[in-house]
A and B are shown apart, each in its own frame.
Chain A
Amino acid sequence: MDTLTLTIGAILFSATSLIYATIGEILTERSGILNLGLEGLMMMGALSGFAVCYHTHSLFLSVIVALIVGALMSSIHAFLTITMKASQVVSGLSLTIFGVGLANFLGERLGPESNSFQLTGLEAPRFEQIAIPFLHEIPIIGPVFHQDLLTYIVYLLIPLSWFFVYKTKYGLELQAVGENPRTAEAMGINVIRLRYIYTIVGGMLVSLGGSHLTLSYMSGWNENKTDGRGWIVIALVIFAMWDPKKAILGALLFGGISALQLSLQAGGITFIPASFLDMLPYLATVLVLICLTIWEIVSKRKFGAPASLGVNFMREEK
């Protein structure tokens, strides 16, 4: 297989975890809750998925546990911000620090005795790459049809979540809650309940994205496995303009430039210093964000965030 096709396959494979997390956070932010705990959620998803998979050899169970862990962790954030009205930024950042620390801590203790209780250096079953007959042999786009189960599911998740947000009654309620919760409440929508639901569902998807890293993209656990991906997702959500169908664009851009710079080096194209290439994905994301903002100002259209994003909702006393 030629280099281009292989590289495209690698980019797609790498993007899956980002797409899950981006869609999850889009749902959360659409309801008005800003969840900065993504890195912690992804780490815990990665850890719990791998730990369960190593001990039970069941990929199905591992995914279920990762989802449950994501729900539990994001429910902490939901409780703190929705019920206790704490600062969403502080709560989210604390969740990240907590999640990363807890994952690394558990990673040293959930392993088998034979390995000093460490989870590092072990391997477990992985999601296999499934090739769709005929389609996977198409040049260049073939790799789209040669991925693992979780990636195929995310292919479905993108149009489904887009349809949900924009074309269903529930999606409209979600948008209303994020744009103007006071009006939504007045119209009989239970803002508190919906925010809880979407924060937890969003957290589950982020955790699932994290588990893709240890159940499919790589097998095994190391400290700081997610290596900053959770932070990227926060920018990718803005990049996608809170539209689920655009989530894939940011993930592909980021993943694409990452893969590109490594490819350039491997191919011997060395006139660009490696450290510059390394910076490129992050630089590209920032540039796109700047362009979007300028476009917003110039065209006087709002691409914006849900209007009440980050603002705690106080149910008025009757």
Chain B
Amino acid sequence: MMQAENKKSFLKKLALCFMLAFFISTGAAFAKFKVAFIYIGPPGDLGWTYEHDRGRKQALDALGAKIETKYIENVAEGTDSARVIERYARSGFNMIIATSFGYMDGMLKVAKKYPKVYFEHCSGYKTHDNMSTYFGRMYQPRYLSGMVAGKATKTNVIGYVAAFPIPEVVRGINAFTLGVKAVNPKAVVRVVWSNTWYSPTKEKEAAVALLNQGADVISQHQDTTEPQKAARDRGVVSIGYDTDMRPFVGDSVLVSPYWNWGQYYTKTIKDAMDGTWKKHQYWGGLKEGIVALSDFSSKVPKSVQKQIMMKHQQIVDGEWDVFWGPIKDQSGKVVINAGDKMQDGAMLGMSFFVEGVIGKVK
């Protein structure tokens, strides 16, 4: 009868709808969480981008089949980065992670347009409901590495190859120098600006210029291992950066402050997948493990190693930190009094050099 047929076809349609809904929802449950990484250089730089990529791989290992990652390298900072970021936002990626300061404005622009996508910006300061920043207190292990350099130098001249005079770099130089002065008040740190994050030739030539001025320890804030190699070729020691540089350069690298992005990436991706992600401005340090000091080279005496590790423990326990007073600037003026602690805001905007640095913040 008509009535029975209509009912049957209606039930059929209902069943179909339920099946469709079931498949769509399980499909969605099985859909991978897609994360895009934006790199400023190649993972082959064996420094900055190499460590971010190592972190990406660690997150993949930890979260396995639930996530899918893609990365793009050599993305220029500035307006073009917005185009690259937007492309990923548009094509169904759930989270985009940009690993250089200069991507800040580009990412913010895209974040405002795509409220359902999560955005993470490294080393910046602008945020939005769906955009967070993250960074590590690299100045802490840098201070410790400065102690190693101060003990190692015989000419009392330490060379520092630095990229750009931005607060992050200045902060690193200051922390390093404070460490040097703490163990060797007579030493000085000479700074050369290379005006590039990544240029093997430029970085090497800057290191050579410092070596020619009598530096017998080379440190750096760059993206490759060239300054350390230049030091090694001259028979001189160096301090690494970004990653443990001993496998690439040798034992002449006394110690290296390095990044541990993997644990942060794993956590923030998982939070986003679980729906517990909240806007944040993460700035972890030695205690959280996002920055670390590598093992020492065999050239560092055990007594020095012990001294460094004791200081390391003090920082981790919260008993002391690098930018606690007294701190004097290059002219000898006291900028942080004894007993005072510099606040995060001041650290993030640092634009003066401490006593012992020879160079200008220009």
Contacts and interface: CB of A to CB of B under 8 A. Distances in A.
Interface of A: 3, 6-7, 10, 14, 107-108, 118, 120-121, 213, 218-220, 222-227, 229, 258-259, 262-263, 265-268, 270, 273-275, 278
Interface string B181-223: 0000000001111010001111011101111111100000000
Given A218-B229, A223-B74, A262-B192, 17 more contacts: A108-B44, A120-B45, A121-B225, A121-B247, A220-B200, A222-B45, A223-B41, A227-B200, A262-B206, A262-B209, A263-B209, A265-B193, A266-B206, A266-B213, A268-B358, A270-B362, A273-B362
Nearest to B204: A218
A266 B199 CA distance: 18
B159 interface: yes
Contacts, number: 99
A266 to B, nearest CB: 4
Contact of A265 (B202, B209, B214, B229): B209
B353 to A, nearest CB: 10
A121 B41 CA distance: 15
B133 to A, nearest CB: 27
Q: For chain B, what secondary structure do more than half of its interface residues adopt (helix, strand, loop), or is it mixed?
A: mixed
Interface of B: 41-42, 44-46, 74, 159, 165, 190-193, 195, 199-202, 204-206, 208-215, 224-226, 229, 247-248, 358-360, 362
A167 B273 CA distance: 76
Contacts of B214: 3
Given A218-B200, A218-B229, A222-B224, A121 B195 contact: no
A259 B202 contact: no
Contacts of B360: 270, 273-274
B233 to A, nearest CB: 9
Given A121-B248, A222-B224, A265-B193, A259 B209 contact: yes
29 contacts: A3-B214, A6-B212, A10-B209, A118-B44, A120-B46, A121-B225, A218-B200, A218-B226, A219-B229, A222-B226, A223-B42, A223-B44, A224-B199, A225-B201, A227-B200, A229-B201, A259-B205, A262-B208, A263-B209, A263-B212, A265-B209, A265-B359, A266-B192, A266-B215, A268-B359, A273-B360, A274-B360, A275-B195, A278-B193
B44 A274 contact: no
A218 B225 CA distance: 11
A262 B362 contact: no
Contacts of A262: 192, 205-206, 208-209
B208 A10 contact: yes
Q: Which of B206, B209, B358 has the most chain A CB within a 10 Å cutoff? A: B209
Contacts of B191: 265
B193 A274 contact: yes
Given A218-B200, A266-B213, A121 B193 contact: no
A227 B223 CA distance: 15
Nearest to A1: B212
B208 A227 contact: no
Contacts of A259: 205, 209
Nearest to B361: A270
Contacts of B192: 262, 265-266, 274
A267 B213 contact: yes
Given A218-B200, A268-B359, A274 B195 contact: yes
Given A222-B200, A227-B202, A266 B159 contact: yes
A57 B205 CA distance: 26
Contact of A10 (B45, B46, B212): B212
A104 B42 CA distance: 10
Nearest to A13: B208
A253 to B, nearest CB: 16
Contacts of A107: 44
B95 to A, nearest CB: 25
A149 B159 CA distance: 30
Contacts of B46: 120-121
Nearest to A271: B360
Contacts of B41: 223
B200 A225 contact: yes
Contacts of A120: 42, 44-46
A15 B212 CA distance: 18
B163 to A, nearest CB: 11
Contacts of B229: 218-220
A78 to B, nearest CB: 29
B362 A10 contact: no
B205 A222 contact: no
Contacts of A108: 44
Nearest to B205: A262
Contacts of B190: 266-268
B352 to A, nearest CB: 14
Nearest to A129: B233
Contacts of A227: 199-202
Contacts of A275: 193, 195, 362
Contacts of A14: 205
A268 B210 CA distance: 10
A282 to B, nearest CB: 13
Q: Which 9 A-B pairs have the closest CB atoms?
A: A262-B209, A120-B44, A274-B193, A270-B360, A6-B212, A266-B209, A265-B192, A268-B358, A266-B213
Nearest to A222: B200
Contacts of A266: 159, 190, 192, 206, 209-210, 212-213, 215
A21 to B, nearest CB: 14
Contacts of A213: 201
A10 B205 CA distance: 8
A258 B206 CA distance: 10
Contacts of A258: 205
Contacts of B159: 266
B44 A121 contact: yes
Contacts of A7: 209, 212
Nearest to A120: B44
